[in-house]
């Protein structure tokens, strides 16, 4: 058969020589294309083999022995403490660069967040910088690895010979061994966690990177993955670690591994912590995974807000670690720390007296309030009203670029933390802000009788300042002499402990500086000064927040609420979230449990029990509105028939125009009232979330046959009008408080 076909084709060629010539040309072209394809495949195979060889060689790197160094010590010129302990960062023995009032200009390089990544590397930036022009060429596998329970990994993390000298131990966890290391008074995992749980993945979804770097975790997964007796560290744990290795200015150099970082970015790993440049994954980013060989990012246990948590970052080109907020769904590495948080590792204020953990006792006879930071309920602060504004009466003491005054961790509990300006700008909780220059000057005018000459004395604490530099603290502001940190010398040094207080403002001066308030032990005055913020953010100062004018604080639990004036009335613009024995979060059946819906919708309150509460459920100076007061509100927003449209929030409502084509269920929120569809609790459970808002009134219903009923206000997602249905005793609804008439 084949020979017959060959003969036939040969004969056809003789009969049609022109077709035969075309066929020979086509066959020649096919052979040429085949040769080119073979050449390309050979090149790609060689590149793939080279990349695989590089990864395998990197995974087998061994590190030489490095001795554990002695830490340097120094003397703070502005402190009476004398020599700084060896466990703390060095303190300058030179002149205080702020003592003359002159702020030196920065000459340092910009940090990675605004810098570039070397183009010769295959590394990629995790969240910032310029993406290099060459990639490593790895392709992700078809699916990410995940599991509903903790599983052991099939191989250990990055074969690694750590430096000799540090105090190592071993932790067995789910079939895998982890090296641990004692640094100062802490014991850390010296390898990245590699337990396989829901919410974790390998870099680029490739198991070889789990073997090299450990797994990457969402924040929720990170909070659950540490073994019993170990925990996810908070920002203060990291701060202690930074001080234990010589101070934050050089901490990354001493904590990074001695190999595996791009472009001379390796550390010296002097303490055996061995931070690997494992990169991570940013939710919502076009680049799913990035940062391998460029940065390391580790979760902390502290949330920044409803969407972000704090993480610690180390970069190839910087000796200074950062503390940044990242979306909780992002993937980061995990290092666990042994033991429970120590008292000094959790800088809390007393919940009963609202006094700081320091030994300073604020003056009596002053009306203090309390603010609880919603990003981490471990932090509450005393507040005080001066003039017509509410100020924090203690220094900020939570995560985000932590430095402890004088380089001594225990001082964070006494003086609060010192922050770089970039961190300070976003540090204050919702409803509070970093004061502007004008707001600081208004404070100076309020306490100094219109003059700055005596304002410093009035603002300073009445003890704790050296050389008879104490103030009177007559307004309860309680400015403590925390000093400041400066990177002017290039090494990061502390100045002014017990001799000066410096507070950031949000107001910039030019392109390289920001204003701040300065108080000194040598003078009774207060003044505004300028501080360099460019380069590596040369200064770290104390932070006080001021309450925004359209917010108020419930001093019972420290929660902050937005308020809005509509007509002649002032209303809460958020639902009440004060916990009582007869209140619930949507979806819960036990009033003692917490629920995520409380953060958004506030609590639901049993009608009769709430109205019978001694002192009322609302904060002091506020009350549950009556039927007539609700009508006054509706009249101020064009009447009851269209009130719901104007008062409903623009989000969270069910989207449905089935009943009325001209009704937008989300509302227009024209007056800032922002009514949210928080639903209600009835005898059979909960209903109405995203569809109904029910609010309590203080007026007994006159509906016949409804004994014991109370009028409540109802907004429905599909209707433009407000209604007054009857609420029964056991029903639980939202509460909006109305400010008492003045």
- Residue 510 shares a structural domain with residue 363: yes
Regarding pTM above 0.85, the answer is: no
Tell whether 287 is covered by a domain.
yes
Residue where a domain stops, chosen among 484, 514, 547: 547
Please check whether residues 323 and 383 belong to one and the same domain.
no
> What per-residue confidence (pLDDT) applies to 705?
86
- The tokens describing 300, both together, are 């902390």
d(CA 337, CA 229): 9
**What are the residues whose beta carbons fall under 8 Å from the beta carbon of 358, sequence distance 6 or more?**
413, 414, 415, 480
Domain extent, residue 280, equals 153-342
Same domain, 381 and 410: yes
Same domain, 369 and 321: no
CA angle 264, 266, 272 (to 5 degrees): 165
Whether residue 600 is found in the same domain as residue 708? yes
138 in any annotated domain: no
pLDDT at residue 490 in the model: 72
The secondary structure of 270-337, three-state, reads CCCCCECCEEEECCCCCCCEEEECCEEEEEEEEECCCCEEEEEEEECCCCCCEEEEEECCCEEECCCE
Beta carbons of 725 and 713 less than 8 angstroms apart: no
Are 400 and 426 spatial neighbours (Cβ–Cβ below 8 Å)? yes
Q: Are residues 559 and 495 in the same domain?
A: no
Backbone angles phi, psi at 726, to 5 degrees: -90, 135
131 within some domain? no
Which pLDDT score, from 0 to 100, does residue 554 have?
93
Buried b (16+ CB within 10 A) or exposed e, 504-517: bbbbebeebbbbbb
Which residues, 6+ apart, have CB-to-CB distance to 468 below 8 Å? none
Give mean pLDDT in consecutive 10-residue pieces for the chain, a chain of 742 residues: 37 39 44 51 45 36 28 31 33 46 35 35 40 34 35 45 82 89 93 92 89 90 91 91 90 91 88 92 64 90 73 90 85 92 38 44 91 67 94 84 76 88 88 96 90 93 96 97 87 90 96 95 96 79 96 91 96 96 83 67 95 93 97 96 94 70 74 96 91 96 90 94 93 97 84
Is residue 57 in some structural domain? no
The string over 348-361, giving b where at least 16 C-beta atoms fall within 10 Å of a residue's C-beta and e elsewhere, is bbeeeebebbbebe
> Is 15 within the bounds of a domain?
no
d(CA 328, CA 284) in angstroms, rounded, equals 12
Residues 534 and 592 in one domain: no
CB atoms within 10 A of CB 611: 18
Whose tokens are 């995790």? That residue is: 126
Residue 41 forms part of a structural domain: no
pLDDT at 661: 52
- The domain tally of the chain equals 3
97 sits in the region (left: phi over 0; alpha: psi -120 to 50; else beta) called: alpha
Residue 354 maps to a domain: no
One domain, residues 336 and 367: no
Q: Which residues on adjacent β-strands are paired with residue 418?
A: 403
- Where a domain ends, among 342, 372, 392? 342
- Which of 547, 579, 599 marks a domain boundary? 547
pLDDT attached to residue 435: 97
- My answer on whether 324 and 388 are in the same domain is no
Return the sign of the alpha-carbon dihedral for residues 320, 325, 330, 332.
positive
Question: At which residue do the structure tokens 């073979």 appear?
Answer: 38
Q: What is the pLDDT of residue 97?
A: 55
> Are 314 and 375 within one domain?
no
> What are the Cα distances from residue 696, in Å, to 544, 618, 623, 624, 729?
36, 12, 11, 7, 11
Q: Are 121 and 135 in contact (CB under 8 A)?
A: no
Structural domain includes residue 267: yes
Helices (H), 105-171: none
Are 715 and 675 within 8 A, CB to CB? yes
Whether 363 and 325 share a structural domain: no
543 and 571 co-located in one domain: no
Question: Where is 78: in which H helix or E strand?
Answer: none
């Amino acid at each position: 058969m084949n020979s017959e076909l060959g003969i036939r084709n040969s004969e056809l060629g003789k009969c049609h020589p022109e077709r035969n010539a075309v066929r020979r040309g086509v066959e020649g072209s096919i052979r040429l294309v085949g040769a080119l394809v073979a050449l390309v495949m050979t090149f790609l195979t060689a590149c793939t083999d080279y990349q695989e060889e590089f990864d395998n060689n990197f995974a087998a790197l061994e590190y030489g022995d490095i001795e554990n160094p002695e830490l340097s010590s120094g003397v703070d010129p502005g402190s009476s403490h004398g020599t700084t302990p060896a466990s703390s960062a060095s303190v300058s023995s030179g002149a205080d660069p702020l003592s003359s009032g002159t702020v030196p200009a920065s000459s340092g390089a910009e940090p990675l967040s605004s810098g570039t990544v070397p183009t010769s590397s295959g590394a990629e930036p995790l969240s910032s910088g310029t993406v290099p022009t060459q990639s490593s060429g790895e392709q992700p596998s078809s699916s990410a690895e995940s599991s509903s329970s903790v599983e052991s990994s099939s191989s250990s993390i990055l074969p690694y010979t750590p430096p000799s000298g540090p105090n190592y131990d071993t932790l067995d966890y789910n079939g895998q061994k982890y090296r641990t290391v004692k640094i100062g008074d802490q014991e850390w995992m010296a390898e990245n966690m590699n337990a396989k749980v829901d919410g974790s993945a390998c870099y680029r979804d490739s198991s070889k990177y789990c073997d090299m770097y450990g797994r990457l975790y969402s924040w929720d997964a990170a909070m659950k993955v540490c073994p019993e007796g170990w925990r996810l560290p908070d920002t203060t744990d990291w701060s202690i670690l930074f001080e234990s290795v010589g101070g934050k200015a050089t901490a990354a150099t001493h904590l990074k591994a001695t190999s595996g970082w791009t472009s001379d970015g390796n550390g010296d790993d002097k303490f055996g912590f061995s931070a690997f440049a494992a990169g991570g994954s940013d939710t919502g980013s076009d680049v799913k995974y990035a940062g391998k060989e460029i940065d390391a990012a580790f979760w902390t246990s502290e949330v920044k807000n409803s969407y972000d948590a704090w993480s610690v970052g180390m970069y190839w080109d910087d000796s200074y670690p950062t503390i940044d907020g990242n979306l909780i769904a992002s993937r980061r590495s995990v290092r666990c720390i042994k033991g429970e948080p120590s008292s000094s590792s959790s800088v809390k204020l007393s919940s009963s007296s609202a006094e700081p953990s320091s030994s300073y006792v604020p003056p009596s006879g002053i009306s203090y309030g309390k603010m609880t930071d919603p990003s981490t309920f471990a932090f509450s602060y005393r507040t005080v009203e001066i003039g017509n504004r509410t100020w924090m009466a203690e220094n900020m003491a939570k995560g985000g670029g932590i430095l402890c005054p004088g380089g001594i961790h225990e001082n964070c509990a006494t003086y609060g933390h010192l922050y770089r300006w970039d961190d300070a700008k976003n540090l204050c909780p919702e409803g509070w802000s970093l004061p502007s220059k004008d707001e600081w000057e208004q404070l100076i005018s309020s306490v100094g009788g219109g003059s700055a000459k005596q304002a410093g004395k009035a603002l300073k604490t009445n003890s704790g300042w050296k050389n008879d530099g104490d103030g009177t603290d007559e307004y309860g502001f309680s400015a403590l002499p925390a000093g400041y940190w400066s990177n002017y010398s290039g090494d990061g040094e502390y100045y002014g402990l017990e001799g000066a207080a410096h507070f950031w403002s949000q107001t910039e001066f030019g392109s390289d500086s920001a204003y701040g308030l300065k108080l000194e032990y040598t003078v009774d005055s207060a003044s505004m000064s300028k501080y360099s913020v460019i380069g590596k953010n040369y200064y770290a100062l104390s932070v006080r927040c001021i309450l925004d004018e359209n917010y108020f604080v419930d001093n019972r639990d420290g929660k902050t609420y937005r308020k809005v004036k509509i007509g002649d009335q002032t209303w809460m613009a958020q639902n009440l979230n004060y916990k009582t024995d007869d209140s619930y979060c949507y979806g819960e059946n036990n009033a003692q449990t917490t629920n995520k819906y409380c953060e958004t919708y506030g609590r639901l309150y049993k009608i009769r029990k709430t109205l019978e509460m001694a002192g009322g459920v609302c904060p002091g100076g506020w009350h549950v509105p009556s039927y007539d007061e609700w009508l006054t509100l509706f009249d101020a927003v064009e009447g009851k028939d269209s009130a719901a449209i104007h008062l409903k929030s623009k989000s969270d409502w069910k989207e449905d125009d089935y009943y009325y084509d001209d009704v937008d269920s989300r509302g227009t929120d024209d007056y800032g009232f922002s009514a949210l569809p928080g639903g209600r609790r009835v005898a059979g459970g909960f209903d109405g979330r995203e569809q109904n808002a029910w609010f309590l009134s203080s007026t007994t219903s006159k509906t016949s046959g409804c004994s014991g009923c109370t009028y409540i206000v109802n907004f429905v997602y599909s209707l433009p009008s407000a209604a007054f249905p009857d609420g029964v005793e056991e029903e639980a609804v939202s509460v909006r408080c109305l400010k008492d008439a003045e």
